[in-house]
Amino acid sequence: MMVPVNTNGASPLLVVGLGNPGADYEGTRHNIGAAVLDELGDHFSVNKKVNAHVDEIRVGDRKVVLAKPRSFMNLSGGPVKALAGYFKVKPAQVVVIHDELDLDLGTVKLKKGGGLNGHNGLKDIAKSLGTQDFLRIQMGIGRPPGRMAPASFVLKRFSKAEQAEVPVMFADAADLVTGLAAGTVTA
């Protein structure tokens, strides 16, 4: 299935990296979506109207808005809806980058619509946008070991052995974003 991507510059692509605010959450599995945006942008500033850190880049003639909500992940829907309204972006032009327990560490997958896999951040976004038909870049973080609760696992930092995978995942996700913006990637 082809993803309808407008590359004529009329409608920006909104790329939202999910995570939790604050130093305690930096480097955790749950913040991998927000961390990916640092691969793409470097001039983030706080936009209080949309409660997010925002940067704007261009891929060819297409504006790409990079946003890291300042809310906790499970309350991302309000900021994402505000961002979409502020930048006049339809849900089909929203890309959410997030951690995914159901994918092996290192796997990066593009998905359009469909189930939310129990991800509370995605659930809140779908509720606020009124649809699940937005793009997702899923960042595989693997399953928790043993009987560790998933909620505890996602808030852990990557082990030294796992850290070698993280930059490769970031680069793969950044490539997907630029491909989407250029109209060369399908989902």
As annotated, the active-site residues are 30
8 is annotated as contributing to ligand binding: no
Query: What is the spatial distance between Cα 182 and Cα 156, in angstroms, rounded to a whole number?
Result: 35
74 is annotated as contributing to ligand binding: yes
Q: Phi and psi at residue 81, in whole multiples of 5°? A: -65, -45
Distances from the Cα of 32 to the Cα of 97, 172, 186, angstroms: 8, 13, 22
Q: Is 66 exposed, middle or buried (0-12, 13-18, 19+ CB in 10 A)?
A: buried
Q: Is 10 exposed, middle or buried (0-12, 13-18, 19+ CB in 10 A)?
A: exposed
Helix axes 32-40, 166-182, angle to 10 degrees: 60
CB-CB contact of 82 with 51 (8 Å): yes
25 is annotated as contributing to ligand binding: yes
Give the residue numbers of the binding site: 25, 72, 74, 120
Give the residue numbers of the binding site for tRNA: 25, 72, 74, 120
